[in-house]
C-alpha cells in the first residue's frame, strides 16, 4: 500500500516510492529505492522535502498511530465536489508547502541564465548518478528522466537561448554528463521548430538526455584520452549506442522512439554511420534529430583532446557535411532554432567593432543582439555596449565571423553569460 508520510517519520527499511516535490529539491536521481543507508536518510532530511510516499508492500510500514495519507485518500481529496465547499467545517491546513508550480512566463536572457545555471547543476548531478547506476547494471528511471526534460523544456519556454547556450560552457571533465543535458535542450528546440506536439517534444528531449548512456560502459581512459584513439579503442567506443540501447530497453516505460535514437544517433544519411549502416529514410526522425544535436554540441564543447569551435563556425562546417551526414531539411530547421549566429558567437560589425552574440532578436537570423567590447580601429577594448541589430534605424550589421582562438579574449564567455568560471 502507498502511504504519504512526513519526512520525520521516515526510517531505514522503508521503500521510498516518491518525493512530494520537484526532483530539483532532492539529491537523488531515482525516486524509488529501498532506504538502507543512514547517509541517504540524513541527506533526505536535509532537503526542503517535507513529505514522501512509501510502499509498505516493499518495505517497512510506519508504526500504528502515525499520521498518514493513503493514495485512495489523496485521490478522494482531488475528487472533492467543489460545489460543496461552503458546507465544509473549518479545519487546520497542513503547513507543508506545496510543490512549486511550473513557471512558463517569458523572462529576460539575464534572468533565465540564473535559472538555467541551477537546472544545469541539478541535471549534471542527476546524470552523474545515472551513469554510476548504469555501470552497476541498473537501467535509467524513465520518470526521473522525464522530470529533467520537463525542467529543461520549461526553461526554454521562458527563454529559448539561455539553457542550451549555458550548457555549452562545460569543462572537459564534465563533458559526458553536461553533453547529455545540452543535447536534450537542443532536441527540444529543434522539435518545436519543426512543429512536433508536446508529447513528441518530450520524447525528443528524452532521446537527447539518454542518447549516450552506453558510454557508462566505456573505460574513462578511452573517454578522456587526449590523443587519437587506436583502432581497437575506436572499435570499443563504437559499441556505446548498442550498449546504451541494451541497458535502457530493460525499462518497460522507455518509449520505443527513445530507444531507437539511442541506438542510431550515429547513423549517417549516406549509410556510412554505425551500428547498422542505415541510410536516408531508414533512419527515424528522432534519430536524425539526435545526430545533428549530438554533433553540434560535441564540436562546440571543449574536449580532452581539443577546444570547441565557435558556434557560428561550427554551423558553417556542419553545413558542409550535410549532404553525407545529416538530413538537409532538419539541419536547416536546426539552424533556425538556434540562429545563424548562435549565442556566444564572436563577430565583427561594419564599424570595425568586435562583439559577442548575447541573444537572438526574434526578427531576423542575420540580426541578433551583439555586445560590442573591442575596436579594431584603435586596437583597444571599449566599454561594452549591447546593440540590437534588428532595431529600427540601426545601421550596424555583421560583416564577418571571428575566430576566438586568434583573439584569445579571456572573458569571452563571461561577456555574454555573466558567469565567471563554471556556473555549476
What's the confidence (pLDDT) of residue 233?
A: 93
Q: Helix 256-264 vs helix 198-210: angle between axes, to the nearest 10 degrees?
A: 40
- Coil, strand, or helix at residue 286? helix
Averaged pLDDT, 9-26: 76
Residue in 294, 308, 312 with CA at minimum distance from that of residue 365: 312
In this predicted model, which residue has the larger pLDDT, 143 or 370?
370
Name the percent of the chain lying above pLDDT 70.
Answer: 88
**C-alpha span between 350 and 347 (Å, rounded):** 10
What's the confidence (pLDDT) of residue 21?
A: 59
Residue 252, pLDDT > 90, answer: no
What's the confidence (pLDDT) of residue 76?
A: 43
CA-CA-CA-CA torsion sign (206, 212, 215, 217): positive
- The CATH label, of 1.10.3210.10, 1.10.645.10, 3.90.580.10, 2.40.110.20, for the domain at 109-338 is 1.10.3210.10
Residue 81, pLDDT > 80, answer: no
Adjacent-strand bridge partners of 69: 4
DSSP result, 264-313: HTT--TTS--SSS---GGGS-HHHHHHHHHHHHHHHHS-BTTBPPPPHHH
Task: Count, in order, helices (H) and strands (E) of the chain.
Answer: 16, 10
**C-alpha span between 219 and 135 (Å, rounded):** 10
Q: What angle do CA 218, 180, 169 make, to 5 degrees?
A: 110
Chain mean position to CA 110: 19
What's the confidence (pLDDT) of residue 424?
A: 56
Averaged pLDDT, 18-31: 60
343: its cell numbers:
549565442
Residue 80, pLDDT > 90, answer: no
At residue 99 the predicted structure's pLDDT band, cuts being 50, 70 and 90, is: very low
Reduced 3-state DSSP string for 307-365: CCCCHHHHHHHHHHHCCCCCCHHHHHHHHHHHCCCCCCCEEEECCCEEEEEEECCCCCC
Q: Quote the pTM value.
A: 0.78
What's the confidence (pLDDT) of residue 22?
A: 52
Spatial contact of 212 and 179, defined as CB atoms under 8 Å apart: yes
Is omega for the bond preceding 276 within 30 degrees of 0, making it cis?
no
- Coil, strand, or helix at residue 30? coil
Window from 60-74, 276-290, 349-363, 395-409 with minimum mean pLDDT: 60-74
Spatial contact of 23 and 126, defined as CB atoms under 8 Å apart: yes
Q: Which residue has the cell 549565442?
A: 343
Q: Helix 198-210 vs helix 175-193: angle between axes, to the nearest 10 degrees?
A: 160
Q: Which residues fall within 8 angstroms of residue 132, CB to CB, at 6 or more apart? A: 216
Q: Which residues fall within 8 angstroms of residue 279, CB to CB, at 6 or more apart? A: 267, 268, 269, 270, 271
Q: Which residue has the cell 544519411?
A: 269
181: its cell numbers:
543535458
388 to each of 84, 200, 330, 370, how far by Cα in Å?
55, 34, 28, 6
**C-alpha span between 267 and 38 (Å, rounded):** 46
DSSP result, 40-54: HHHHHHTSS--EEEE
> Tens digit of pLDDT for each residue in 263-307?
999 999 999 999 999 999 999 999 999 999 999 999 999 877 678
Q: Distance from first CA to last CA of the chain, Å, rounded? A: 39
Amino acid at each position: 500500500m502507498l502511504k504519504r508520510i512526513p519526512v520525520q517519520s521516515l526510517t531505514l527499511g522503508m521503500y521510498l516510492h516518491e518525493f512530494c516535490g520537484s526532483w530539483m529539491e532532492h539529491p537523488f536521481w531515482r525516486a524509488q529505492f529501498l532506504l538502507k543507508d543512514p547517509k541517504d536518510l540524513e541527506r533526505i532530511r536535509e532537503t526542503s522535502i517535507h513529505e514522501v510516499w512509501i510502499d509498505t508492500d516493499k518495505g517497512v510500514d510506519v508504526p500504528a498511530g502515525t499520521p498518514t495519507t493513503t493514495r485512495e485518500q489523496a485521490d478522494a481529496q482531488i475528487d472533492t465536489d467543489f460545489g460543496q465547499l461552503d458546507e465544509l467545517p473549518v479545519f487546520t491546513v497542513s503547513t507543508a508547502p506545496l510543490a512549486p508550480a511550473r513557471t512558463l512566463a517569458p523572462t529576460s536572457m539575464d534572468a533565465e541564465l540564473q535559472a538555467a545555471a541551477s537546472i544545469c547543476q541539478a541535471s549534471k548531478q542527476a546524470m552523474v548518478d545515472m551513469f554510476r547506476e548504469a555501470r552497476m547494471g541498473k537501467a535509467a528511471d524513465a520518470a526521473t528522466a522525464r522530470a529533467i526534460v520537463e525542467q529543461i523544456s520549461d526553461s526554454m519556454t521562458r527563454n529559448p537561448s539561455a539553457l542550451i547556450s549555458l550548457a555549452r560552457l562545460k569543462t572537459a571533465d564534465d563533458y559526458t554528463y553536461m553533453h547529455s543535458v545540452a543535447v536534450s535542450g537542443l532536441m527540444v528546440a529543434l522539435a518545436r521548430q519543426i512543429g512536433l506536439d508536446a508529447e513528441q517534444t518530450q520524447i525528443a528531449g528524452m532521446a537527447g538526455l539518454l542518447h549516450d548512456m552506453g558510454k557508462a560502459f566505456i573505460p574513462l581512459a578511452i573517454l578522456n584520452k587526449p590523443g587519437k584513439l587506436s583502432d581497437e579503442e575506436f572499435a570499443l567506443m563504437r559499441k556505446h549506442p548498442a550498449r546504451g540501447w541494451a541497458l535502457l530497453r530493460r525499462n518497460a516505460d522507455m518509449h520505443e522512439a527513445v530507444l531507437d535514437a539511442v541506438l542510431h544517433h550515429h547513423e549517417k544519411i549516406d549509410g556510412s554511420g554505425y551500428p547498422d549502416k542505415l541510410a536516408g529514410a531508414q533512419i527515424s526522425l528522432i534519430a536524425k534529430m539526435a545526430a545533428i544535436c549530438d554533433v553540434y554540441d560535441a564540436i562546440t564543447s571543449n574536449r580532452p583532446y581539443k577546444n570547441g569551435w565557435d558556434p557560428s563556425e561550427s554551423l558553417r562546417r556542419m553545413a558542409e557535411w550535410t549532404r553525407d551526414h545529416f538530413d538537409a531539411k532538419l539541419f536547416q530547421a536546426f539552424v533556425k532554432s538556434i540562429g545563424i549566429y548562435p549565442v556566444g558567437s564572436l563577430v565583427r560589425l561594419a564599424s570595425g567593432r568586435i562583439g559577442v552574440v548575447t541573444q537572438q532578436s526574434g526578427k531576423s537570423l542575420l540580426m541578433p543582439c551583439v555586445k560590442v567590447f573591442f575596436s579594431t580601429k584603435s586596437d583597444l577594448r571599449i566599454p561594452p555596449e549591447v546593440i540590437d541589430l534588428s532595431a529600427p534605424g540601426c545601421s550596424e550589421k555583421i560583416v564577418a565571423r571571428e575566430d576566438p582562438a586568434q583573439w584569445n579574449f579571456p572573458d569571452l564567455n563571461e561577456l555574454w553569460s555573466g558567469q565567471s568560471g563554471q556556473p555549476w
